[in-house]
């Protein structure tokens, strides 16, 4: 599998995703309800918490509202600063504090953020932690999410505890909080405090994607491809990458186009039975056996040779195709086996039959991926 830049770093995908899908900030004062992204190019652990705690929210759907004028979906997808603004902070601080003191779990979670930011109250990290813990202990998913962020950052008088953060995020996600699901997705991809688990990442990425959290249709689409090792479903991947594109994600558009091209070209036996002559400067002398998209811009090419089944991975961000003769196709750039990357893979069809030439024609069209895939030159 291609090792993309930084894919094993702590919080890798969360940080990269936040840098990759910067979007327009929606002005609440203008009354625009829609997708927004409070993402930045890079952030420290403290910056991560502030980003997660005080970023923007996804699409708001008209539903029955509670005493705070909030629907169930609002509590699932909105972030603390927008909730406070909806409730009328800083002016509403005393009213919400009174509700918290009377046992309103959602008010407890909201007032925790007010103590963090000083929105209508004097900043007090200890009180912020106390109210967040009370909201979580009351079983409120938003409160569990808010408390998890304290453990991500080691603020409010607690040490960094990613295991506890993950436990709380799981409770919040399973309780329907889509923002918690988005963070949990990145925990499982980055291996924060535990082993990488793409299957669990896919489970929570879907929850976030269905709630229209920006970037997670794209993420869930990728998690359905072999390169991430979760359940493989090319059609599901393409569907969600297209949804990502429709939501305005440029990477989603490129990924959807590249995957669609691969799926169309590799359908059937297009990449089966062709003769591979050389890889780099070495002789291969094998026939192609199969091919499928490893990722939108990586093709897995299997070959049958002496009873074994080695495979090549073609990185289209660095590879083009060139026809040197009617019966010869050259992949030039970066063709990988394990950790060994070489610059050329040559397919030579000795039989020269029409069917074989047609297959080479089809594979040559894969060279279009090089221009489509430049957006992924530094990784997904």
pTM equals 0.79
Least confident residue range of 35-49, 297-311, 357-371: 35-49
Identify which has the larger pLDDT, 378 or 344: 344
Q: Which two tokens stand for residue 91?
A: 């002016």
Q: In a 10 Å sphere around its CB, with 0-12 CB exposed, 13-18 middle and 19+ buried, how is residue 79 labelled? A: buried
What's the pLDDT band for 34 if we cut at 50, 70, 90? very low
pLDDT for residue 53 is more than 90:
no
pLDDT of residue 306: 56
302-315 residue pLDDT tens: 988 655 657 899 99
Do 121 and 147 contact (CB within 8 A), yes or no?
no
Name residues whose C-beta falls within 8 Å of residue 8's C-beta, 6 or more positions apart in sequence: 190, 191, 196
227-253 residue pLDDT tens: 987 789 999 999 999 999 999 999 999
pLDDT of residue 176: 97
Rounded Cα distance, 355 and 327, in Å: 11
242-299 residue pLDDT tens: 999 999 999 999 999 999 999 999 998 899 999 999 999 888 888 899 999 999 999 9
Least confident residue range of 8-17, 125-134, 295-304: 8-17
Q: Which two tokens stand for residue 203?
A: 């489970």
Residue among 60, 48, 324 at smallest CA distance from 186: 48
DSSP string, 6-38: TTTSTTHHHHHHHHHT--PPP-GGGT--S----
* Helices 80-87 and 105-117: angle between axes, nearest 10 degrees: 100
Helices then strands, counting H and E runs in the chain, come out as 16, 7
Least confident residue range of 15-24, 142-151, 311-320: 15-24
Do 36 and 215 contact (CB within 8 A), yes or no?
no
Do 126 and 157 contact (CB within 8 A), yes or no?
yes
Torsion over CA of 7, 240, 293 and 249, rounded to 10 degrees?
A: -60
pLDDT for residue 17 is more than 50:
no
What is the enclosing helix (H) or strand (E) of 333? strand 328-337
Name residues whose C-beta falls within 8 Å of residue 237's C-beta, 6 or more positions apart in sequence: 221, 222, 224, 225, 259
Q: Tokens 């056996």 label which residue? A: 289
φ, ψ for residue 343 (rounded to 5)? -90, -10
First CA to last CA across the chain, in angstroms? 13
């Amino acid at each position: 599998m291609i090792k993309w830049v930084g894919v094993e770093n702590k919080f890798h995908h969360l940080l990269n995703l936040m840098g990759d899908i910067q979007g327009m900030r929606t002005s609440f004062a203008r009354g625009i309800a829609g997708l927004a992204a409070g993402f930045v190019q890079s952030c420290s652990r403290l910056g991560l918490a502030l980003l997660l705690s005080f970023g923007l929210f996804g699409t708001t759907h008209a539903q029955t509202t509670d005493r705070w004028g909030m629907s169930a979906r609002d509590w699932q997808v909105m972030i603390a600063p927008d909730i406070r603004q909806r409730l009328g902070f800083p002016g509403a601080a005393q009213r919400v504090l009174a509700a918290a003191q009377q046992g309103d779990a959602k008010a407890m979670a909201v007032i925790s953020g007010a103590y963090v930011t000083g929105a209508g109250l004097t900043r007090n990290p200890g009180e912020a932690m106390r109210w967040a813990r009370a909201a979580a202990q009351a079983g409120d998913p938003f409160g569990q999410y808010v408390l998890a962020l304290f453990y991500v950052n080691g603020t409010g008088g607690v040490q960094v505890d990613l295991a506890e953060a993950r436990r709380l995020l799981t409770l919040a996600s399973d309780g329907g909080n889509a923002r918690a699901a988005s963070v949990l997705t990145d925990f499982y991809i980055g291996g924060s405090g535990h082993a990488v688990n793409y299957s669990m990442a896919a489970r929570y990425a879907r929850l976030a994607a269905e709630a229209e959290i920006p970037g997670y249709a794209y993420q869930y689409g990728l998690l359905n491809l072999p390169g991430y090792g979760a359940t493989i479903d090319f059609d599901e991947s393409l569907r969600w990458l297209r949804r990502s594109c429709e939501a305005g994600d440029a990477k989603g558009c490129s990924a959807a186009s590249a995957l669609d091209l691969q799926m169309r070209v590799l359908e059937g036996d297009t990449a089966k039975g062709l003769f591979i002559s050389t890889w780099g400067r070495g002789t291969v002398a094998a026939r192609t056996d199969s091919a499928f998209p490893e990722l939108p811009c990586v093709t897995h090419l299997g070959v049958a040779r002496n009873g074994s089944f080695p495979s090549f991975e073609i990185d289209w961000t660095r590879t083009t195709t060139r026809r040197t003769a009617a019966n010869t196709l050259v992949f030039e750039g970066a063709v990988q086996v394990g950790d060994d990357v070489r610059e050329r893979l040559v397919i030579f069809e000795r039989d020269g039959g029409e069917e074989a030439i047609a297959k080479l024609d089809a594979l040559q069209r894969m060279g279009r991926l090089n221009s489509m895939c430049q957006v992924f030159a530094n990784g997904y």
